[in-house]
Amino acid sequence: NKKGYGSFEEAMSRGLNPQSVEQFKAMIAQNDVILLDVRDKKEFVESHIPGSMFIGLDGSFAPWVGALITDINQKIALVCPVGREEETVRRLARVGYDNAVGYLDGGFESWKNASEETASIDTITVEEFVKSDINKQVVDVRNTSEYSTTHFCGSLNVPLDHFPTNNTDVLDKEKSYFVHCRSGFRSTVASSILKRRGIHNITNVIGSFDVIKENLEVEGTCPSLIA
C-alpha cells in the first residue's frame, strides 16, 4: 500500500494519542472507527474488547492489515502490548495507514481493571481437535492453493484473504464451526472477524496443520468446497 495523506510525523503524532478507558469507549463507539487488537493471539482469544479485530504484531502484521483493512484512510483505534504503542503506529504508517487515532492507555489490563465488558473465543489445540468427536463444520481459512494441496475431508474453504469480499456469507450464524489454518494465527484473525459479523458459535483451532494431516482423513482430491 502507498501512503495516504499527511506526513509520517503527523501520522505518528495522531496515533500516539493515549486514551483513558472512558475516552476509548467513546472513540470505539463511533461507526467510522475500527478497533484493532495487536496483542499475542493467546492473550486475544482469552479476553478482548467485544468487536475487536485481531491482527497480531508478531504475525504477518503488515500484509494482513493491507489485505483486510481495505480503506487506507480507515480510522483505527488500537489495543497494544504495553510499551509497543509506538512500534504499532509506526508499522501501520509505513504501509500507508496514517489514520490511527489513538490507543488504550495502559493496554487491555486497564480495560479489565475498570470492569468493562470483555469477550473471548473458544479455543482448542490441534491435538485436542484430532481426538474430539468432530460434530461441527470445519472451516479452513488457508488460501486456495494450500487447501487444494491437502485438506480435512468435508471442510469448507473460506480463505482469509477473501474476507473483504464477504465470502463468509456462506456461513450460517445458527451453526457451529471449527476454524483452522496452518498454525493458528490466521484462524484467530478470521475468528475475530467472524464474531464481528455475528457468527459467534466458533471454536478456534490452534496448532500445526501437520497434526491434522497425520491423524485425520485428509485429501487433496476431495470435492473442493471453496467459498
Secondary-structure breakdown of the chain: helix, strand, coil percentages, each rounded to the nearest 5? 40, 20, 40
Cβ burial 78-101 (10 Å sphere, 16+ → b, else e): bbbbeebbeebbbbbbebbbbbbb
Q: Taking a C-beta distance cutoff of 8 angstroms, is the pair 155, 223 a contact? A: no
Q: What is the pLDDT of residue 218?
A: 63
Q: What is the pLDDT of residue 191?
A: 98
CA distance 139 to 121: 15
> Is the per-residue pLDDT at 115 higher than 90?
yes
Query: What would the pLDDT profile of 76-94 be if each residue is shown by its tens digit?
Result: 999 999 999 999 999 999 9
To the nearest whole number, what is the mean pLDDT of the chain? 91
> Is the per-residue pLDDT at 220 higher than 90?
no
Q: Taking a C-beta distance cutoff of 8 angstroms, is the pair 221, 150 a contact? A: no
Give the CA angle between residues 156, 159, 162 to the nearest 5°: 130
> Does domain 8-113 fall into CATH 3.40.50.2000?
no
Segments making up each domain of the chain, as ranges: 8-113, 122-219
Sheet holding 177-180, edge to edge: 122-125, 202-206, 177-180, 137-140, 156-157
136 or 3: which leads in pLDDT: 136
The listed CATH number (1.10.3720.10, 3.40.250.10, 3.30.420.40, 3.40.50.2300) that belongs to domain 122-219: 3.40.250.10
Same topology, domains 8-113 and 122-219? Answer is yes
